[in-house]
Structure 1
Amino acid sequence: MNLEGIFNQNKENTIQGRYITLENIEPILNRESLKKDVKIIGESVLGKPIYSYQKGTGKLKIYLWSQMHGNESTTTKALFDFINLLNNGSDLANQLLSAFTFYCIPMLNPDGAKLYTRANANDIDLNRDSQNLTQPESKILRAVFEEFKPDYCFNLHDQRTIFGVADTGKPATVSFLAPSYNEEREVNESRLKAINLIAGINEVLQNFIPGQIGRFDDSFNINCIGDTFQYLGVPTLLFEAGHFAGDYEREVTRKYIFIALLSSFTILSENDIVSNINDKYLNIPQNKVVFFDFMYKNVKINYDGIEIITNFVAQYKEELIDNELNFNAYIVEVGDLKGYYGHYEYDAKEALYKDDFTNFPKQNQKANFNLNEKVFFVNGTIIK
């Protein structure tokens, strides 16, 4: 199966980049080809509609939701790419629709999506509200779970650029987790199903992004939705869309999320899950915070009249300004920084650091500076 070709044929080209809002997805949901399978299942804190998309007649029921965190949009894009596949009339689509019934919530947190925030309009992290159910969005997610009675749950998220695959120096482009169902992090039948499926997905993805798949920490927190659904006996998979080199818009990662989704359902429909492969899951390296967006090495700094050679790093802040998402680089740390990596690295070869302020890279200062007054950096990158 040509997975990349299938992605290219079904990519939803009307949505791209990181800032995906309700206004971006409503025209898709209102298409003649889709709208018969679309419903409004409730409202957000600010009264925005929360949509569902349900399709298929198969016995195995799959529940997927995205943008529980408003600023995590990569999986939303991939989910619409997959929805396009389900509607393209191909043999593959018909096979999937006869094997599965899919229930999708493409954007659970439309208020957070508009504000580009993790939390909802009440400043509540919906992924910590699975027990108290204080928010309308949390109640909707849980009500669908209880009514639909899924056989598998897919909890779709983004993760920050800071995560790498253990100490390999490779970014965690896609990460997975089979959440724990108890404090002891034991493996019961339900969790084993999720573990086995992730192991199968990992084997597929290693052909595309070898060494760039991570495993999320499985500490138990019953307030998290994945842990709750696993506790309730439904195999649950957490997807985390991460960084691919140079892909800050997450358009490349989007492809690998699509491939992961399609691979999941191919494995399930072909009953191609190998049992008792817990070791293959545990051999996926854990995520580790080892990356910065920018790393500058061997920089000479005149500090109180003493010249030192050191390193410093900068990180993008994703700032929404006039409804446009801006990536603004700020200095975050100066020092040896051993064991850390930069998605962009520059060896200054002991060139002297200068800026318009103190001639010292200060925390929270914009990454605008020069080296030996010859090489100039604006927003973290060299200007030609």
Structure 2
Amino acid sequence: MFTFVNQIYQIMNLEQLFLDNKEKTIEGRYLTLESIEPILNRINTDNQLSIIGQSVQGRPIYKYSIGTGKTKIYLWSQMHGNESTTTKALFDFLNLLHSGSDLAKSFLDNFTFCCLPMLNPDGAVLYTRANANEIDLNRDSQDLTQPESKLLRAVFEEFKPDYCYNLHDQRTIFGVADTGKPATVSFLAPSYNEEREINDSRQKAINLIAGMNEVLQKFIPGQIGRFDDSFNINCIGDTFQFLGVPTILFEAGHYPNDYEREVTRKYIFIALVSSFKFLNENVIETNRTDDYLNIPQNKVVFYDFIYKKIKINYDGNEKITNFAAQYKEELVEGKINFNAYIAKLDDLDGFFGHEVFDGQGGLYEDDDENFPKLDQKANFCLDKNINFVNGLIKK
């Protein structure tokens, strides 16, 4: 495996492969059906595209199928409407399949890909996790109360996949254990029972994740995490794993200064390509459980901003304190605004900041009561001459 991973890394220029196939018509965090329909129509070169049903609000849900190979891969993205990074990477990968390259021909000959690129188009428009009925589709895999959940399950039963790829985003709060590094990409081989045992199906997912992790470590060392594997049969990944199909959860997370997730997008693409190379070459070892378990777990340890050694005057008493701020992603007139609000006061032991400012004892002032309060906009100044606007120093 080690030799083959190095071969992928050294012979295949994965970063150049991404640049050659990047879908340039989509970028940023706000991705709606209107954004991707022109792409779907463009790559519908041989009747690969179909509408399988509608969302709560009547938007079409598309299925895109391509390839003639024996191994069947089922991929779905934007089950949560505000999680668009993997959707972008999925279209980058579909562009690769249309590139005419030897790699594309090999993938198309050996795999059949069935993709639902936007399962929750209503949530995408609203920029919400839930669908239009305020239901989290990733907690509806048993009750199947929502049309989107029913469609995902119906395609699963009809397609009978060999592998499932469950594509998501995760928030900037997640780090790789206590390392101080962000969890740029995280994986999970979901459990199939309460005991979190490993059967043949879960083992296949584990082995594939171990291989992808080994490749990604070449690019973002220490920035790959492992998601919690507590069993919840209401989650779609746990359900499909329970039904005997190896299922892999992808979580696209934060890369430094990449709030639009354009860098993370590249690493999801690299993970996808690497996984299919492993499967195509049939080089996955039979048991890489230790390698998988050695991927550090995700942990909530980050704020977007941490401010240290800030002097405040509270009821006539001066003291030095710390506080943190976090972006809220707010949809305004069709654009996502990253607005910073104070999220934590005083005790920040064990937490890291994507941006850290040393106030060096500067006196805090704002337009209100001159001390930081929870949920207040992160607009303030230090010593009357260092101004912070929306969390950042105003240049």
TM range (shorter): over 0.9
Q: Which residue of 2 aligns with 1:347?
A: 358
**Counterpart Cα distance in 2 of 1:253 and 1:23:** 23
Q: Which residue of 2 aligns with 1:137?
A: 148
Q: Does structure 1 residue 223 correspond to structure 2 residue 234? A: yes
Whether the 8 Å CA contact 1:29–1:35 is kept in 2: the answer is no
Q: Which residue of 1 aligns with 2:125?
A: 114
Equivalent of 1:71 in 82, 95, 106: 82
Amino acid at match of 1:330: Y
Q: Which residue of 2 aligns with 1:101?
A: 112
Q: Which residue of 2 aligns with 1:242?
A: 253
Alignment of 1:301-320 (within 5 A): 301-320=312-331
Per-residue CA deviations over 1:320-351 (Å, capped at 9, x if unaligned) read 01111100000011113011000000000010
**Counterpart Cα distance in 2 of 1:116 and 1:346:** 31
Whether the 8 Å CA contact 1:153–1:235 is kept in 2: the answer is yes
Q: Which residue of 2 aligns with 1:296?
A: 307
**Counterpart Cα distance in 1 of 2:224 and 2:315:** 44
Post-superposition offset of 1:304: 1.2
SS of 2:361's equivalent?
A: coil
Alignment of 1:205-216 (within 5 A): 205-216=216-227
Q: How many residue pairs were aligned?
A: 384
- Structure 1 runs (4+) greater than 6 angstroms displaced: none
**Counterpart Cα distance in 1 of 2:84 and 2:43:** 24
Q: Which residue of 2 aligns with 1:273?
A: 284
Per-residue CA deviations over 1:68-127 (Å, capped at 9, x if unaligned) read 000000000000000000011111000000110000000000000000000000000000
Post-superposition offset of 1:36: 2.1
Per-residue CA deviations over 1:235-267 (Å, capped at 9, x if unaligned) read 000000000000000000000000000001000
Amino acid at match of 1:291: F
**Counterpart Cα distance in 1 of 2:371 and 2:305:** 16
Equivalent of 1:88 in 99, 122, 128: 99
Q: Which residue of 1 aligns with 2:9?
A: none
Whether the 8 Å CA contact 1:33–1:87 is kept in 2: the answer is no
**Counterpart Cα distance in 2 of 1:306 and 1:166:** 37
Q: Name structure 2 gaps, 5 residues minimum.
A: 1-11
Q: Which residue of 1 aligns with 2:7?
A: none
Equivalent of 2:339 in 321, 328, 333: 328
**Counterpart Cα distance in 2 of 1:218 and 1:8:** 33
**Counterpart Cα distance in 2 of 1:12 and 1:98:** 23
Q: Which residue of 1 aligns with 2:263?
A: 252
Amino acid at match of 1:153: C
Per-residue CA deviations over 1:344-371 (Å, capped at 9, x if unaligned) read 0000001000000010100000000000
SS of 1:127's equivalent?
A: helix
TM norm structure 1: 0.99
**Counterpart Cα distance in 2 of 1:264 and 1:274:** 13
Q: Which residue of 1 aligns with 2:3?
A: none
Equivalent of 2:274 in 243, 263, 276: 263
SS of 1:357's equivalent?
A: coil
Amino acid at match of 1:42: G
Q: Does structure 1 residue 195 correspond to structure 2 residue 206? A: yes
Whether the 8 Å CA contact 1:15–1:77 is kept in 2: the answer is yes
**Counterpart Cα distance in 2 of 1:182 and 1:275:** 21
Q: Does structure 1 residue 163 correspond to structure 2 residue 186? A: no
Q: Which residue of 2 aligns with 1:52?
A: 63
Equivalent of 1:17 in 24, 28, 40: 28
TM norm structure 2: 0.96
SS of 2:360's equivalent?
A: coil
Post-superposition offset of 1:33: 5.0
Post-superposition offset of 1:141: 0.2
Equivalent of 1:372 in 377, 380, 383: 383
> What is the RMSD of the two structures over their aligned residues, measured on CA atoms?
0.7
Does 176-185 or 35-44 show the bigger shift? 35-44
**Counterpart Cα distance in 2 of 1:132 and 1:32:** 34
C-alpha change, 1:205 and 1:76, in structure 2 (3 Å) is same
Equivalent of 1:42 in 38, 53, 56: 53
**Counterpart Cα distance in 2 of 1:375 and 1:43:** 52
**Counterpart Cα distance in 2 of 1:274 and 1:371:** 57
Whether the 8 Å CA contact 1:39–1:51 is kept in 2: the answer is yes
**Counterpart Cα distance in 2 of 1:191 and 1:377:** 48
Per-residue CA deviations over 1:185-232 (Å, capped at 9, x if unaligned) read 000000000000000000000000000000000000000000000000
Identity of matched residues, %: 75
Q: Does structure 1 residue 185 correspond to structure 2 residue 196? A: yes
**Counterpart Cα distance in 2 of 1:120 and 1:32:** 27
Alignment of 1:24-35 (within 5 A): 24-31=35-42, 33-34=44-45
Whether the 8 Å CA contact 1:167–1:290 is kept in 2: the answer is yes
Amino acid at match of 1:220: F
